[in-house]
Structures are given as structure tokens and as C-alpha cells.
Amino acid sequence: MIFEGFIDFLSYLSLKQNASPTIDSAILNSIANLPKAIPFLQIHQTIHAFLDNDEAGKQAVKCLSPVCNEVIDQSVFYRNHKDLNDYWLDKSSPKKEGGENNVGSSFKRQISMKKKGRGL
């Protein structure tokens, strides 16, 4: 797997609910570092690319094609978002319902708002 940034990698781990991926991962921290990662990537048959949904990310996927047998552009799964982290933030954020977010509403239902014990 290859990620453009470390935050995207952390978002991937959160999405998969897995703190220890079982396959090799490379984090570029910038598309400009792609040439430095080529020797590492060349030893892999398949590369899953989790790069940004911008022109630089698309060009980087094209540059990876001659590096290994198969490059799988995973950005199609978060195509309506800037990157994997943006997708994760959108997916994990509470949705608004009746002016309140669901987390706040459920919190209020779970914990009685009545005072108990001594007042302050």
C-alpha cells in the first residue's frame, strides 16, 4: 500500500479498525518523494495506491504502472473527497438531526440531566 500522507495512513487504519496492517505500507509525505520510494515499491507485485484525488495523485498512479505488475487506484472509493482522510472525517462525523448532532442527542438520552446529590 502507498499513501500520500501519514494522516491518510492513520485514516486507513481507523477505517479498517486495524492498528497493524498485514501488508507492507509506504507513506510518501509528499508526491515529490515518490522517486525515493520506487526501490521499495519494485519488490512488490501489487500496489494499492491511496493517493489524493488531484492531478498530482493521478499522475503518480500512472508513474507507478511500470514499477510493478498491478497498481490498484483505491481513490475511486473516496472519489467525492479530496483524500482518504477527508473521506474518513466525513464518514465519522456525526450527522445533524433536528439541529443537534446524533452524538449529543444520544448522550443526553443516556445521562439524566436532573441534578442528584448536593448542588455546588
* pLDDT tops 50 at residue 114: no
What pLDDT does 96 receive? 55
- pTM score of the predicted model: 0.73
- Domain residue spans of the chain: 2-110
Q: Which helix (H) or strand (E) holds 57?
A: helix 55-64
- Dump pLDDT digits (tens) for 44-66: 999 999 999 999 999 999 999 89
Mean pLDDT confidence for 83-108 = 64
Rounded-to-integer distance, Cα 69 and Cα 86, Å: 29
Choose the CATH number for 2-110 among 1.10.150, 3.40.190, 3.40.1360, 3.30.110.
3.40.1360
- Dump pLDDT digits (tens) for 61-88: 999 989 889 999 999 999 999 999 999 9
Question: How many C-beta atoms lie closer than 10 Å to residue 70's C-beta?
Answer: 11
| Residue % of the chain over a pLDDT of 90 | 63
> β-pairing, 46-50 with 70-73?
parallel
Higher pLDDT, 46 or 20: 46
